[in-house]
Chain A
Amino acid sequence: MLEIRGLAKTYGSGDTVVQALRDITFSIGEGELVCVVGPSGCGKTTLLKCIAGLLRPSRGEVVLHGSPVTSPPEEMAVVFQEYNRSLMPWSTVRNNVLLPLRHKSLAKAERTRLVEEALAAVGLTRFIDHYPWQLSGGMQQRVAIARALAYQPLILLMDEPFASVDAQTRGDLEDLVLRVHEEFGITILFVTHDIDESVYLSHRIVVLTHAPTVVKEIVGVDLPTPRDQLETKELPEFAHLRAYVYRLIKRDRSAPSGVDAPSTLVGEGLLD
Chain B
Amino acid sequence: MSRRRAEALKLATEIAVPIAIVLVWEAWARSADSQFWPPPSTIAQEFRDLWLFAQFRSDVIPSLMRILFGFAIGSAIGVAVGLPLGLSLWARKFAMPHVEYWRAMPPPALLPISVILLHSIGNLQKITFIAFFCTFPVLLNTIDGVRALDPTLVDTARAYGVPVRERIRRIVLPAAFPQISAGMRTSLSLAVIVMVVAEYFSSTSGVGYVLLISKNTFQLVPMWAAIVLIGVIGYLLNLAYMMVEHRLLAWHRGWRAATPL
Do A and B share a direct contact in the complex (Cβ within 8 angstroms)?
yes
Proximity string of chain B (132-172) to chain A, C-beta cutoff 8 Å, 1 when within and 0 when not: 00000000000000000010110111111111001000110
Contact, CB under 8 Å: B158 / A99: no
B161 contacts which of A72, A82, A89 (Cβ < 8 Å)?
A72
- Say whether, besides A88-B153, A90-B174, A72 and B159 are in contact (CB < 8 Å): yes
The residues of A that contact B255 with a CB separation of less than 8 Å are: 89-90, 131-133
Contact, CB under 8 Å: A100 / B160: yes
Q: Which of A23-31, A57-65, A73-81, A202-210 contacts B (4 or more CB under 8 A)?
A: A73-81
Report the minimum CB–CB distance from B190 to chain A (whole Å).
Answer: 27
- The answer to whether the Cβ of A52 comes within 8 Å of any Cβ in the partner chain is yes
- The answer to whether the Cβ of B94 comes within 8 Å of any Cβ in the partner chain is no
The winner among B160, B171, B177, B255 for most chain A CB atoms within 10 A is: B160
- Say whether, besides A99-B160, A131-B251, A84 and B259 are in contact (CB < 8 Å): yes
- The answer to whether the Cβ of A235 comes within 8 Å of any Cβ in the partner chain is no
- The answer to whether the Cβ of B258 comes within 8 Å of any Cβ in the partner chain is yes
Contact, CB under 8 Å: A133 / B153: no
Contact, CB under 8 Å: A102 / B159: no
Contact, CB under 8 Å: A82 / B152: yes
A35-66 residues at the B interface, CB under 8 angstroms: 49, 52-54
Report the minimum CB–CB distance from B151 to chain A (whole Å).
Answer: 8
- The answer to whether the Cβ of A10 comes within 8 Å of any Cβ in the partner chain is no
- Say whether, besides A72-B160, A85-B150, A86-B153, A133 and B170 are in contact (CB < 8 Å): no
Contact, CB under 8 Å: A103 / B158: no
A73: nearest chain-B partner, CB-CB:
B161
Q: How far is the CA of A49 from the CA of B258 in the complex (A)?
A: 28
- The answer to whether the Cβ of A134 comes within 8 Å of any Cβ in the partner chain is yes
Contact, CB under 8 Å: A133 / B152: no
- Say whether, besides A54-B159, A103-B161, A151-B160, A88 and B174 are in contact (CB < 8 Å): yes
Q: How far is the CA of A53 from the CA of B160 in the complex (A)?
A: 11
Q: How far is the CA of A54 from the CA of B152 in the complex (A)?
A: 11
Contact, CB under 8 Å: A100 / B162: yes
Q: How far is the CA of A193 from the CA of B161 in the complex (A)?
A: 28
Q: Count of B residues near A, CB < 8 Å?
A: 25
A77-135 residues at the B interface, CB under 8 angstroms: 77-78, 80, 82, 84-86, 88-91, 99-100, 102-103, 131-134
- The answer to whether the Cβ of B254 comes within 8 Å of any Cβ in the partner chain is yes
- Say whether, besides A80-B152, A103-B166, A131 and B254 are in contact (CB < 8 Å): yes
Q: How far is the CA of A147 from the CA of B102 in the complex (A)?
A: 45
- Say whether, besides A74-B161, A99-B170, A103-B166, A89 and B252 are in contact (CB < 8 Å): yes
A153: nearest chain-B partner, CB-CB:
B160
A72 contacts which of B158, B252, B259 (Cβ < 8 Å)?
B158
Report the minimum CB–CB distance from A132 to chain B (whole Å).
Answer: 8
Q: How far is the CA of A111 from the CA of B48 in the complex (A)?
A: 59
B255: nearest chain-A partner, CB-CB:
A89
Contact, CB under 8 Å: B171 / A88: yes
Contact, CB under 8 Å: B254 / A77: no
B174: nearest chain-A partner, CB-CB:
A90
- Interface CB pairs A-B, < 8 A, 29: A53-B159, A54-B159, A72-B159, A72-B161, A77-B160, A78-B160, A80-B155, A80-B156, A84-B259, A86-B155, A88-B170, A88-B171, A88-B175, A89-B251, A90-B177, A90-B255, A91-B170, A99-B160, A99-B170, A100-B160, A102-B162, A103-B161, A103-B166, A131-B255, A133-B254, A133-B259, A134-B254, A134-B258, A151-B160
Known A89-B252, A90-B174; 17 more pairs at CB < 8 Å: A53-B159, A78-B160, A84-B259, A85-B153, A86-B152, A86-B156, A88-B153, A88-B171, A88-B174, A89-B251, A89-B254, A90-B175, A100-B162, A103-B163, A131-B251, A132-B255, A133-B258
Enumerate the 10 nearest inter-chain pairs by beta-carbon distance, A residue then B residue, closest first. Answer: A100-B160, A89-B255, A85-B152, A133-B258, A78-B159, A133-B255, A86-B156, A90-B174, A90-B251, A72-B159
Which residues of B come within 8 Å of A, CB atoms?
150, 152-153, 155-163, 166, 170-171, 174-175, 177, 251-252, 254-255, 257-259
